[in-house]
Chains A and B, each alone.
Chain A
C-alpha cells in the first residue's frame, strides 16, 4: 500500500496569513502515461464529511476559492491557503488514487 504522510499535524495561522500543508507519498504518484499526479486534497470541517478540494495535485474543483492552490509532483506535494479566512478552519487530508487501496494522509488541523 502507498503510505501518505502529512506534516505538520496541526498549525495555527492568523487571519489573512498563509498556511502551508505538506504531503509525502511512499512512492511516486506520477503516472507517465498521462503525466498526471494522482493526488487529491480534501477539507473536513467539524461534524461534516470531507469535501473534495483538488484533484491531479493542483486542479481545483468547481466552487473552490482560488486562495487554495496545490503544487508538487512525484512524491512531494503541498496545499497552500494564500490568505486564511475564518471559514478555512478545518482538517485537511491528502489522498492518492493511483493504486488500490486508495490511501489518505493522517490529516493537518488548521486553526486560528
Chain B
C-alpha cells in the first residue's frame, strides 16, 4: 500500500524559506508524479507544481515561478518542496499527492504539513 509521509509542522518568519519533505513508500515513486498542493484555512486546494522522478523536470504553477523549487531524491523515494520569500499569505497546509504523470487527478495524499508564517 502506497503511503506519502510528510515532515512536521513549521513556523517561519516573513522573508525566510521553508523546505517540506514527502517520502513515498512502495516501489512506484519513479513512475508517478508527485504534486504539491496547498490549502489555506477555509479555502479550496491550490496546485503549486509537480515532478516526475523519471524525467527529473519539475513543472510549476506560474504564480510560484521564481520562488518554488521541487526536487527529488530517488535513493530515498523522497520529494521536496522549497518555498522562498515567505509572506503571511503563505500560511497553509501543504500536501504532497500522487498522480499519473499525464492525468493530474490526485489519488493518494499525504497527511499535510502546516506551515505558519508569522513575525
Interface residue? B80 (CB, 8 A):
no
What is the interface residue range for chain A against chain B?
20 to 34
On whether A107 and B103 interact (CB within 8 A), knowing A49-B110, A100-B59, A101-B61, the answer reads no
Interface residues, chain A, with chain B CB atoms under 8 Å away = 38, 40, 42, 48-52, 55, 61, 93, 95, 97, 100-107
Interface residue? B109 (CB, 8 A):
yes
A49 to chain B: closest residue by CB: B109
On whether A101 and B47 interact (CB within 8 A), knowing A49-B95, A49-B112, the answer reads yes
On whether A103 and B43 interact (CB within 8 A), knowing A49-B111, A50-B106, the answer reads no
Is B109 touching A50 in the complex (CB atoms < 8 A)? yes
Is A107 touching B59 in the complex (CB atoms < 8 A)? no
- Tell me the minimal C-beta distance from A110 to chain B in angstroms: 15
Is A93 touching B44 in the complex (CB atoms < 8 A)? yes
Could you tell me the dominant secondary structure of chain B's interface residues?
strand
Interface residues, chain B, with chain A CB atoms under 8 Å away = 43-47, 59, 61-63, 95, 97, 99, 103-107, 109-112
Q: Which residues of A contact B46 (CB under 8 A)?
A: 104
How many angstroms between the C-alpha atoms of A105 and B100 in the bound complex?
A: 21
Q: Which residues of B contact A105 (CB under 8 A)?
A: 44
Partner of A104, one of B45, B99, B110, B111: B45
Query: Could you jot down 12 A-B contacts, CB within 8 Å?
Result: A40-B106, A42-B106, A48-B111, A49-B110, A55-B105, A95-B45, A101-B61, A103-B47, A104-B45, A104-B46, A104-B47, A105-B44
Number of residue pairs A-B, CB distance < 8 angstroms? 49
A109 to chain B: closest residue by CB: B42
Is A97 touching B43 in the complex (CB atoms < 8 A)? no
Partner of A107, one of B44, B109, B112: B44
Is B109 touching A102 in the complex (CB atoms < 8 A)? no
Is A106 touching B43 in the complex (CB atoms < 8 A)? yes
Is B110 touching A101 in the complex (CB atoms < 8 A)? no
How many angstroms between the C-alpha atoms of A19 and B103 in the bound complex?
A: 28
Is A50 touching B45 in the complex (CB atoms < 8 A)? yes
- Tell me the minimal C-beta distance from B13 to chain A in angstroms: 26
On whether A97 and B44 interact (CB within 8 A), knowing A49-B110, A49-B111, A50-B109, the answer reads no
